[in-house]
Amino acid sequence: MKRKGVCYDVGRAMGGNWRPIFDPKIVHRELEIIKNDLHCTAVRICGLDIDRLMKASKDALNQGLEVWLSPEMWNKSPEKTLNYIVKAAAAAEKLAKSSPERLVLSVGSELTLFMQDIVPGNTLRKRLDNPSLGETVEAGEHNEPLNAFLAKAHEAVRKVFRGQVTYASLPWETVDWGLFDFAGVNHYREARIKDQYVEMLKPFFACGKPVIITEFGNGTCQSVETSGAMGLGIVDFKTLFLHHIPLLGRFVRPRLKGEYVRDEAFQARELIETLGILDAAGVDGAFVFTFLTPIFPYDDNPRYDLDMGSSSLVKSYDGKHGTTYPDMPWEPKESFKAVAEYFAKQ
């Protein structure tokens, strides 16, 4: 595996900013840890704000990391999404001039679900809940409008960005990879597809481009397999949303939907098993999702331990610092140590 990576969120935005505070000093230190202690050779930098994306990407490039730049605007029309991608690509070209071989631009991620007008529904929730979604996907009706958009995005981006380009697809999106330098797929090894996990990668290998797993990961909870590999299904998002409303928020404490058991060892085992499977399958690189999730802080009380629903390699703290890295508001999980050991041996 040439590219040993982790996803790094500088502020994805849906229902609020997933990284409310962006401190360049903390970002610099975290990227330093990602390179030197997690032993990554690449980092996938995700988020909405272009200024944040560029600052983090420049820092990572200066530290010698390969950057997979993933600007993500969700729940907008194809026109607004395209304008945003082109604006981000133009900004990225300035960075690429100094390190063209170490900057890869993604023109989108899972657009069938995260952009309007490919499948019915103005929001992600409405698209996922639409009764016709399953039939649409099974019939492959989403692929034509998806590829039409990707072709338009590729053409527009190539006018302002001369570096390498990719797309982070869903496993069931049939993409024309001839447009791109890499075939990228967000591929989570959930319980229901574990026996098909490698088989599902065959169409990507068949395209003749290097295959990159742009996202994979696991939550930090024993019952995560019943809630999706990311574990998000166990978080009560209503309480999380209310908590961030001014004044009202102080009366609402974000919590999980029920009683769950924290299991860092489970997360670590799943990640290492998956890395081994992907290595054996011959992928060119893989990005663990994700380094940290500040909006899902750890709590000693299991009822309020939102980190159980997080796929992050570190557990974020609300109002205090860790012990391993006293300058950081988080503490490495068992998964951090396991992934670091795996990457160090490669």
pLDDT tens track for 40-66:
999 999 999 999 999 999 999 999 999
- What would the mean pLDDT of 298-309 be, rounded to a whole number? 96
pLDDT band at 226 (very low <50, low <70, confident <90, very high): very low
| pLDDT for residue 231 | 65
Q: Sketch the domain layout of the chain as residue ranges.
A: 3-217+262-293+307-345
Architecture field, domain 3-217+262-293+307-345: Alpha-Beta Barrel (3.20)
Predicted confidence (pLDDT) at residue 228 exceeds the cutoff of 70: no
Quote the CA–CA distance of 207 and 183 in Å, as a whole number.
8
Predicted confidence (pLDDT) at residue 272 exceeds the cutoff of 90: yes
pTM assigned to the model? 0.96
pLDDT band at 307 (very low <50, low <70, confident <90, very high): very high
